[in-house]
């Protein structure tokens, strides 16, 4: 691989001039710069990003930490983040942490010295641990709010409210919530929003779980939900909702005829399942894109940027898993 020294020799100038010809437009005479560029092109010079990064610290790498890459929730987020990163000439490094705070810590330890900034997607770390790492590198948090650290979140309150209104429109008066992981900030928000909405709309809510944010998590609570008095259920996320529907089917409860089900996020698969899932759609690609843009903006400006979390709108996508409440309570099937 040719270096600036090779280019410099071929041009009869000093290496520093070659360097400036590329990174300091205007600092070098236009003709000289043009000549250097031409020669560099000819001998196939490419700047070595490692060598550049050593003195400057600019690696052009950004980390996106996701709690589970196999969770379809992240696909569009990753895509959005990567697009935004590439647009700014950055490369995105996706780290998967398998829903484990310990692995997350280790992954960050590995990646942190390499990257210029970090986007934490649904982190499972403690607030204080996040604050510690935010001191080392510019950080943006997804789906969680920490005062003093820029964050990008979905408007869960509004989305939850919409879902509740929808269910109430369908005459449901007793609504369940299947909770996700305790450590999930979004879970807390959703449950709180449900209770607020329930009060405002004058209906009863009941909490189930917590369960793992997976299909089997949803399947697992199905019997409990089936035995309860609720006629509609809002699940922590789509995966849980879909698992729940299958679990309900297994114990003879029909969706939406006996019980309506609403999910969160509108992941790939939400419209594939049967019945197609009514869900509060998160603006996934926008979330990823905006997080990266916020991060880059923060890196560019000297001063720490906005502290107000960015609130991206969620909207209710109505499909087939919700329906008007049956006149009579279903008879409970075998458990």
Partner DNA sequence: CAAGTCATGGCAATCGATTGCCATTGGGGT
Partner DNA sequence: ACCCCAATGGCAATCGATTGCCATGACTTG
- Give the binding site for a copy of itself (CB under 8 A): 46, 48-51, 53-54, 59-61, 69-70, 72, 75-76, 78-79, 82, 86, 91-96, 107, 109-111, 113-114, 242, 268-269, 272-274
Q: Considering beta carbons, is residue 32 or 228 the nearer one to DNA?
A: 32
Q: Does 206 sit near DNA (CB under 7 A)?
A: no
SS3 110: helix
Which range in 21-29, 70-78, 79-87, 180-188 contacts DNA by CB under 7 A?
21-29
Which of DNA, a copy of itself, none does residue 273 bind to, with CB < 5 to 8 Å depending on kind? a copy of itself
x/- map, 107-126, DNA, by CB under 7 A: --------------------
How many alpha carbons fall within 13 Å on the CB side of residue 234?
A: 34
Residue 16 binding partner per list DNA, a copy of itself, none, with a CB distance cut-off of 5 to 8 Å that depends on partner kind: DNA
Nearest alpha carbon to residue 104 among 159, 66, 62: 66
Residue 44, contacted partner among a copy of itself, DNA, none, CB below 5-8 A by kind: none
C-alpha 71: how far from chain center:
10
Q: How far is the CB of 235 from DNA (least distance, A)?
A: 48
Minimum distance of a copy of itself from residue 107's CB (angstroms): 8
**How far is residue 48's CA from residue 90's CA, in Å, rounded to a whole number?**
15
Euclidean distance between CA atoms 85 and 289, whole angstroms: 8
User: Contact, 216 vs 244, CB < 8 A?
Assistant: no
96 vs 165, beta carbon nearer a copy of itself: 96
4 binds, among a copy of itself, DNA, none (CB under 5 to 8 A by kind): DNA
Q: Which residues contact 74 (CB under 8 A, 6 or more apart)?
A: 66, 68, 121
Q: Name the DSSP letter for residue 278.
A: E
Closer residue to DNA (CB): 9 or 158: 9
Give the angle subtended at the CA of 15 by the CAs of 14 and 20, to the nearest 5°. Answer: 100
Burial class (CB in 10 A: 0-12, 13-18, 19+), 250: middle
25 or 304: whose CB is closer to DNA?
25
Residue 321, burial from CB neighbour count under 10 angstroms (0-12, 13-18, 19+) = buried
Quick one: what does residue 207 bind among a copy of itself, DNA, none, with the CB cut-off 5 to 8 Å set by partner type? none
Determine which residue in the list 10, 20, 152, 186 makes contact with DNA, applying CB under 7 A.
20
Of the candidate residues 5, 91, 102, 199, the single one contacting DNA (CB under 7 A): 5
Nearer to a copy of itself, 242 or 316 (CB): 242
Task: Tell me the per-residue interface mask from 237 to 266 with DNA, x by CB under 7 A, - otherwise.
Answer: ------------------------------
Assign residue 140 a region (left: φ > 0; alpha: ψ between -120 and 50; beta: otherwise).
beta
What six digits make up the tokens of 141? Answer: 């948090």
- Spatial separation of the C-alpha atoms in residues 102 and 106, rounded to whole Å: 6
Judged by CB under 7 A, which of 25, 38, 41, 51 binds DNA?
51
Q: How far apart are CA 300 and CA 124, in angstroms?
A: 28
Location of structure tokens 């600036």: 4
Residues 28-47 that bind DNA (CB under 7 A): 28-33, 45-47
Could you list the residues that contact DNA (CB under 7 A)? 1, 3-5, 12-17, 19-20, 22-24, 26-33, 45-48, 51-52, 54-56
């Amino acid at each position: 691989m040719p270096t600036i020294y090779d280019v410099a020799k071929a041009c009869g100038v000093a290496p520093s001039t070659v360097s400036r010809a590329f990174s300091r437009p205007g600092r070098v005479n236009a003709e000289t710069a043009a000549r250097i560029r031409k020669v560099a092109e000819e001998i196939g010079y490419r700047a070595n990003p490692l060598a550049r990064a050593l003195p400057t610290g600019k690696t052009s790498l950004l980390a996106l930490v996701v709690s589970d890459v196999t969770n379809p929730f992240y696909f569009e987020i990753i895509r959005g983040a990567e697009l935004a990163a590439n647009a700014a000439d950055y490369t995105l490094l996706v780290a998967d942490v398998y829903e484990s705070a310990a692995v997350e810590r280790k992954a960050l330890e590995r990646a942190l010295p390499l990257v210029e900034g970090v986007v934490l997607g649904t982190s499972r770390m403690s607030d204080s641990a996040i604050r510690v790492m935010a001191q080392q590198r510019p950080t943006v948090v997804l789906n969680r709010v920490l005062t003093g650290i820029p964050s990008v979140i979905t408007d869960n309150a509004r989305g939850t409210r919409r879902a509740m209104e929808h269910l109430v429109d369908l005459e449901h008066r007793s609504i369940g919530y299947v909770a996700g992981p305790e450590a999930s900030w979004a879970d807390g928000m959703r449950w709180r929003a449900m209770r607020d909405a329930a009060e405002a709309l004058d209906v009863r809510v009941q909490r189930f779980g917590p369960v793992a944010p997976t299909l089997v998590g949803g399947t697992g609570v199905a019997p409990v939900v089936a035995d309860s008095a609720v006629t509609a259920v809002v699940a922590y996320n789509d995966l849980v909702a879909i698992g729940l529907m299958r679990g309900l089917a297994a114990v003879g409860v029909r969706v939406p005829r006996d019980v309506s089900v609403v999910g969160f996020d509108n992941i790939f698969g939400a419209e594939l399942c049967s019945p197609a899932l009514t869900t509060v759609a998160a603006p996934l690609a926008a979330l990823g894109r905006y997080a990266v843009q916020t991060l880059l903006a923060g890196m560019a400006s000297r001063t720490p940027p906005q502290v107000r979390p960015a609130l991206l709108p969620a909207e209710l996508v109505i499909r087939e898993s919700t329906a008007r409440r049956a006149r009579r309570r279903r008879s409970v099937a075998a458990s």
